Structure 1
Amino acid sequence: MVGQSSTNSGRTTAAQWMRVAFHDFITADVKSGTGGIDASIGFETSREENKGSAFNDSFTFWRPFVNEYVPMADLVALGTVMSVGLCGGNHIPYRPGRIDSTHADPTTGVPEPGTDLKETLSQFERAGFDQADSIALTACGHTMGSVHHGGFPEVSPESAVTPNNTNGGVNFDTTRGSFDSLVVHEYIDGTGQMGGPLVTSFNESSRSDLRLFESDGNSTMRDLYERGERFQDVCADVMGRTINTVPAAAKLTTPITPIALKPINFTWDFDSNDRLILSGKIRVLGAIRTIPPPLNIELGGQTIRIMPEREEGTTVYGSTGIRGGRVQGVTRYYAISIPGRDVTNITSFAVSADGFDRHTFPISNGPFIVPSLSTSDGDTVRFSVAVPQGHSQAFPEGLVVSITAPVPQPLTLGPKLVTGTGEWSSETTSQDGFTVYTGTYRVGQRVTGAISLTLLNENQVQDTLLVGAGIAGW
């Protein structure tokens, strides 16, 4: 996650993402149950302790992915999971369930280069980390990235600015794009970057890492040194605790464990000839690259065999075996489209492949939101709902479309959510045995990401759809 565009600027996206999470976390007060990973950092970028472009850069990237189901705070946490996992570190279990703050955290105090040792340890203690934890988290967080002259001239000298290093970055270790233990080894051995600019800065008062590392006589740093590859276990632990430090009101779920075979956007719709179709993709997650197997989809008394799309992806899941015990998992996608007349009455379908367990998934065969006829122009949602003709219920009584949209809010790049109920129009059409009803909902602001539509039938969820997801919509 260094990338070509950062070759001369010296910026490392993964390091920026981890910095955002740390600054959001460190103002937590665990005794009072406030602060932590809640995306309040978006409101706090004018504070001197949060200077630099990492926060708004990261929020700008994550913003389109915020919707009813994914708050910005979860993306702050996920950014650390992805940064560590994709850059060579151990997988950190990811638990969703965070809640976005609607204001800046009144608690301040982020360790800065000039912060004295007593205050630094006090700030970590407030967030639930003791001395050894604080040293370990700092070492883990500073195994990637740099300190830049533009933001921290008191740490990185003007001489660091060159045509090949336009932001004047001084790296923490000699592998700034890899999550590894080199920062510890170079510090203890006095080689390479010798622990980074917060150890060696020309400005003695800005050597905050040195003060912290030496605070226990280098005992913790030597222990991390002796652990070798088990350094990664320590980092997964302390960084996992960091992203799981949340306000008392937030209730994190159990860690997400992806299933090997998963339907993606598997929906009912109408094709260009107004015929009912069932279409979507199946995502297959494997540990290593092998010859892709055909996929079997069982539905409506038939079995359909399909082959994967040509392009493959990678994931932090499915790791095994090499590169320090880790190799990125491989994802493949299988697309399918089936005439609706062949499967109209199904209530489930099964997916299987050689080397994978068989999975069965439920599917509704009642009223549904029509994807191809539901759109957004930025501030207004137009939706269509297909109801089987002969449906016993008198429409639209009992059927409601609930809508949630992410929109901008002042003082932060983190969106807020607005909710409402769609209004039905008198327009109807008939398509392939269904009556299609239409409606609209005016958001009133330009949305920033996916709008979620939920079809309720007598207050029970009948169908859901994300509209206008753009780059976040798979």
Structure 2
Amino acid sequence: MGPAMFYYPNAQVSQIEHILVDNWGAYASNFSSAITPCERYVTQIGDAAVKSGRTTSAQWLRVLFHDFANSHVEEGLGGIDASIGFETYREENKGSAFNDSFTFWRPFVNEFIPMADLLAMGTVMSAGLCGNGTKIPFRPGRVDASSEDPNTGVPEPGTSLEETLKQFELNGFNQADAIALTACGHTLGSVHHGGFPEVSDNSTLSENNTNGGINFDSSRGMFDPLVVQEYLDGTGQRGGPLVTSFNESSRSDLRLFDSDKNTTMKALYAQGEGFLDTCVGLLSRVINTVPAGVKLQEAVQPMVIKPINVTWDIGADGGLELSGRIRILEKTSKNRTITLIFSNGYNETLTIEEEIGTSIFGEMQFAPFAIAHSKIDGSSSFTVDVGELSTDDNEFAIRDSYIIIPSLSSVISGSSVKVTVAVRDSANDDTKSSVLATVPTAQPLTLGPKMVSSKIALEKVVAKTGGLAGFTLWEGSADIDQPTGAVSVRLVRDGEMLDTLLLDGGVAGW
């Protein structure tokens, strides 16, 4: 995620779409790296990760379920809100999955991307990248909890069938739903001795299985129907350790699967690859379960034509220029002519870069541009002409009256933020504007960041020789708490947001 001032269609959706689509290759978001390959354990590297037997993609599904499982849907309580970050001390949430996952997601969190959205996105990505291209629709807009959920009751290996079904009922899931959702969740990953010695005893520990993991099925890193098939056929892992555990009281999956005499499991078996479609429906219900009052937006769709990192800044000649890239997404990359057509009549044909990006949605080509302000002065938008691939949604707004200058704005040593703003002289505005800086920063009892906002007053910069012609510069700075991710700065005048810029917080992630 580079610094930009124009986020299409907006800052939130632009970043979510980036995670969803830009999986590998050129300009990848880095989010997918944690589960590429799908048996990867991102918390460790090399042999240590391989021998651990842990699987990040499976951890992400476990975190989702535990964040969801204490919801009471009829009362509008709980759901996907990242409250699990405050709840890791509970016995029902033992294991490393929660802090492992929050540690990886944390640098991606900013004003526009809450931890709760990333928690849901983890499951969308695990199912999509580790299966046959399974696509769970993603609707952004979740809100992070500021404390733990008072409700408890996440089912554990020793939980009785009656208690388990009652908890699923509170979640809005009937018996058949509960069985199918459990099968969907247990098509990835393992149960480990360290967290669950009552399921996996110390005989499972070895030099090549350092955490004593027992896989749920024979394809630990694949989102597939194998867990169902092996359970009913009695092959491979036979449904996993929560079916076959030496400790009969810990056979929670067996109790659940057999609770309707395997009727649901047999129906799932008969679906074949269609089992994954069932999982899409069930997991969609889970990720879209949110507390009352939280309204999710429409599902994010991959953009066929997407301008990325489009920004005004000071160019090499000291003048203002508009730069960025156009990303083209299609099934197979082709040699195409890409032309930018500005509303003032100026056209510019772009050259496509050699390096491509790849995605479960197709391949991506990128075409950079850098255009002097003088050529496109007066333009309020540009369209992207990509021949027959062009769509009705290929016009993108720009503006140049109020600009946060990226090259003159930064987070300094993680303790302060400096911002420079250019106001076009023709705006005839001497009103003091201010910048609202929002910083993701650490909070007690969870690895999920909180947002802290502060106002930065701007002062006019005394004109210098060779200043930015046609513009007046304003600048300001403020001390901030150490950021855990990108710092957002928004230019505000009389309550109106005039410009937005994300600044690198100096941490990994994007």
Q: TM-score range by the shorter chain?
A: over 0.9
Name structure 1 gaps, 5 residues minimum.
319-328
What residue number does 1:360 align with? 395
Matched residues in 2 for 1:472 and 1:230: separation?
38
Match of residue 321 from structure 1: none
SS class of match (1:37):
coil
Moved more, 265-274 or 247-256: 265-274
Give the counterpart letter for 1:155 in structure 2: V
Structure 1 residue 405, shift from structure 2 partner: 1.1
- 1:74 correspondence with 2:144: no
1:432 maps to 469
Amino acid at match of 1:185: Q
Equivalent residue in structure 1 for 2:364, among 314, 319, 331: 331
How far off is 1:277 after superposition?
Answer: 0.8
The answer to whether residue 500 in structure 2 is matched with residue 464 in structure 1 is yes
CA deviations on 1:401-460 (whole Å, 9 max, x unpaired) are 1221111100000000011211223534431321111111222x1011111111123322
Distance of 2:435 and 2:303 partners within structure 1? 30
Tell me if the contact between 1:156 and 1:197 (Cα under 8 Å) persists in the aligned partners: yes
Distance 1:61 1:195, change over 3 A: same
Q: Does the aligned pair in 2 maintain the 1:136–1:220 contact within 8 Å?
A: yes
Matched to 1:72, the amino acid is: M
Aligned to 1:414: 448
Cα pair distance change 1:407/1:79, threshold 3 Å: same
Structure 1 Cα separation of the partners of residues 366 and 231 of structure 2: 45
Superposed CA deviations along residues 291-330 of structure 1, whole A, max 9, x for unmatched, are 34232211242332223333333334x3xxxxxxxxxx22
Gapped runs of 5+ residues in structure 2? 1-37
Q: Give the equivalent residue in structure 2 for 1:83.
A: 126
Distance 2:322 2:160 in 1: 63
Matched, 1:25 2:68: yes
1 CA distance for matches of 2:76 and 2:321? 50
Given the superposition, is the C-alpha separation of residues 266 and 141 from structure 1 closer, same or farther in structure 2, using an over 3 Å criterion?
Answer: same
Whole-angstrom CA distance in 1 between matches of 2:335 and 2:243: 49
Structure 1 CA distance for aligned equivalents of residues 173 and 469 of structure 2: 62
User: Hey, what's the Cα distance between the residues in 2 that align with 1:426 and 1:293?
Assistant: 46
The match for 1:342 is 375
Please tell me the root mean square deviation across aligned C-alpha atoms, in Å: 1.6
Q: Does 1:268 align with 2:312?
A: yes
Separation (CA, whole Å) in 2 of partners of 1:360 and 1:470: 33
* Alpha-carbon distance in structure 1 between the residues aligned to 2:482 and 2:182: 40
Secondary structure of the residue aligned to 1:140 is helix
Does residue 149 in structure 1 map to residue 178 in structure 2? no
In 2 relative to 1, CA 244–192 (structure 1 residues): closer, same or farther, beyond 3 Å? same
2:136 is matched with 92
d(CA) in 2 for partners of 1:393, 1:468: 30
In terms of mean alpha carbon deviation, does 225-234 or 456-465 score higher? 456-465
Distance between the aligned counterparts of 1:472 and 1:212, measured in 2?
A: 41
| 1:313 corresponds to which of 345, 350, 357 | 357
CA drift at 1:152 = 1.0
Once the two structures are TM-superposed, the CA of residue 216 in structure 1 deviates from its matched residue by 0.4
Cα distance in 2 for partners of 1:53, 1:28 equals 22
Distance 1:435 1:217 in 2: 76
Q: Distance in 2 between matches of 1:432 and 1:277?
A: 12
> Partner of 1:131 in structure 2?
175
- Paired with 1:393 and 1:121, the residues of 2 have a C-alpha distance of 64
Q: Would you say the 8 A contact 2:346–2:376 is kept in 1?
A: no
Contact 1:428 1:438 in 2 (8 A): no
Contact kept in structure 2, 1:264 and 1:283, CA below 8 Å: yes
Amino acid at match of 1:440: S
> What CA distance in whole angstroms lies between the structure 2 residues aligned with 1:157 and 1:253?
45
Q: Secondary structure at the match of 1:7?
A: helix
Match of 1:372 in 2: 407
Q: Secondary structure at the match of 1:178?
A: coil
Contact 1:275/1:431, CA 8 A, preserved across alignment: yes
Distance 1:333 1:469, change over 3 A: farther
For residues 184-211 of structure 1, the C-alpha deviation after alignment (integer angstroms, 9 at most, x for no partner) is 0000000000000110111111110000
2:252 to 188, 191, 208: 208
TM-score under structure 2 normalisation?
A: 0.87
Displacement, 1:469? Answer: 4.9
Cα distance in 2 between the residues matched to 1:175 and 1:284: 34
Counterpart position of 1:228: 272
1:345-374 alpha-carbon deviations (Å, 9 max, x no partner): 210001121341241101112111001111
Q: CA deviation at 1:40?
A: 0.2
**Equivalent in 402, 406, 409 of residue 436 of structure 2:** 402
1:395 Cα deviation from its structure 2 partner? 3.8
Write the distance in 2 (CA, Å) between the matches of 1:282 and 1:105.
43
Counterpart CA distance in 2 for 1:307 and 1:162 is 55
Following superposition, the deviation at residue 470 of structure 1 comes to 5.3
Aligned-pair CA distance for 1:472: 7.2
The CA deviation string for residues 144-181 of structure 1, in whole angstroms up to 9 with x for no partner, is: 11111111111112122222221111111111111000
Alignment map for 1:296-307 (pairs within 5 Å) = 296-299=339-342, 300-307=344-351
- In the TM superposition, residue 473 of structure 1 has moved relative to its aligned partner by 7.9
**Separation in 2 of the partners of 1:455 and 1:136?**
49
3-state SS of 2:429 partner? coil
- What is the alpha-carbon distance in structure 1 between the residues aligned to residue 307 and residue 508 of structure 2? 16
Q: Given residue 415 of structure 1, which amino acid in structure 2 is its aligned partner?
A: P
Judge conservation of contact 1:364–1:462 (CA < 8 Å) in 2: no
CA distance in 2: counterparts of 1:66 and 1:226, whole angstroms: 41
Say which of 427, 432, 454 aligns to 1:391.
427
Aligned residue number for residue 325 of structure 1: none
CA distance in 2, matches of 1:12, 1:312: 28
Aligned partner of 1:14 in structure 2 is: 57
Q: Tell me how far apart the structure 2 counterparts of residues 297 and 30 of structure 1 sit (CA, whole Å).
A: 49
Aligned residues of 1:155 and 1:202 also touching (Cα < 8 A): yes
2:335 and 2:55 map into 1 onto residues whose CA distance is: 34
Count matched residues: 459
> What is the SS of the residue equivalent to 1:431?
coil
Structure with bigger RCO (C-alpha 8 Å, 6+ apart): 2
| Identity of matched residues, % | 53
1:8 is paired with a residue whose SS is helix
Q: Which residue of 2 aligns with 1:62?
A: 105
AA in 1 matched with 2:199: V
Cα distance in 2 for residues equivalent to 1:312 and 1:88: 23
What amino acid is aligned across from residue 397 of structure 2 in structure 1? Answer: P
